[in-house]
Amino acid sequence: MRVAILAPVRLLGDGLARCLDGTSAIRIIGVVRTLEELHELVSSSLIDVALIDMTQPIDLDAVRLLAISGSNVVLIAMGLKEQRQDIIRCGRAGFVGYVSRDSTVEELAKTMLDAVAGRLACPEEISGALLRALFRQTSDPAPDGAPLTKRESDVLQLIGHGMTNKEIARELGLSVATVKHHVHNVLEKLSLPRRSHAMRKVREKPWLLG
């Protein structure tokens, strides 16, 4: 099993790599510190599992881009507080497994093996919450004009200022690919054909930004 580790704290990433490499048929391919570096590693190498440290701020929209990139990499969140909403948000971003902050290295290795095999183990109250969230998502029709997320509103505001994707990425500390994804979602949710229409709309109707 070929594994990549994303850990902004180098000491954690390097230490975890040393603990895992060679155990339970695990081979560490690389340790990176940013999502952009993880994207590059997944694009250039055969990776089965990506471990992502969730004790540090992580852009879940950028994680979702990786999940839908077609690479088939299994994403596992490390260090989650075992709270329903956090786990549901991670599931929506594309994570298929997680370990809590109290987990051991052995439990992490087992979680990776289970995730690759398509198994997810979690407490009963968490699994119940996941099922309820899935039910609501599939039973309630999506309303026309779905609300913008906080990040999409930020992007729309900067579009209204006439900024390019590159300028928006620099302003918000995101990758250009992530900004393009947000712009696409904004145009789709507002039923607008072009970026120039979004610029005009936000200037005419600033309340769209919430």
CA distances from 102 to 4, 11, 20, 24, 82 (A): 21, 18, 17, 20, 10
Could you tell me if residue 123 is left (phi over 0), alpha (psi between -120 and 50 degrees) or otherwise beta?
Answer: beta
Interval 102-151: pLDDT, tens: 889 998 988 888 888 877 666 555 555 555 555 454 444 444 456 788 88
**Domain extent listing, the chain:** 2-139, 150-209
Fold of 150-209: Arc Repressor Mutant, subunit A (1.10.10)
Q: Which CATH number fits domain 2-139: 1.20.1250.20, 3.40.50.20, 3.40.50.2300, 3.90.1150.10?
A: 3.40.50.2300
- Could you give the CA distance from residue 129 to residue 50 in angstroms, rounded to a whole number? 25
Interval 4-34: pLDDT, tens: 999 999 999 999 999 998 777 899 999 999 9
pLDDT band at 68 (very low <50, low <70, confident <90, very high): confident
- Could you give the CA distance from residue 41 to residue 58 in angstroms, rounded to a whole number? 17
Let me know: does 119 contact 111? Beta carbons within 8 Å: no
- DSSP state, 208? G
Token pair listed for 75: 């994403």
Burial classification of residue 57, based on how many CB atoms lie within 10 Å of its CB (0-12 exposed, 13-18 middle, 19 or more buried): exposed
Record the pTM: 0.61
R_g of the chain computed on alpha carbons: 19
Let me know: does 176 contact 169? Beta carbons within 8 Å: yes
* Single-letter code of the amino acid located at 83: Q
Own/partner pairs, 111-118, CB within 8 angstroms, 24+ separation? 111/76, 112/1, 112/3, 112/24, 112/26, 112/49, 112/51, 112/74, 112/76, 113/1, 113/24, 115/49, 115/74, 115/76, 116/1, 116/48, 116/49, 116/74
Which of 5-9, 74-78, 192-196 shows the lowest per-residue confidence on average (mean pLDDT)? 192-196
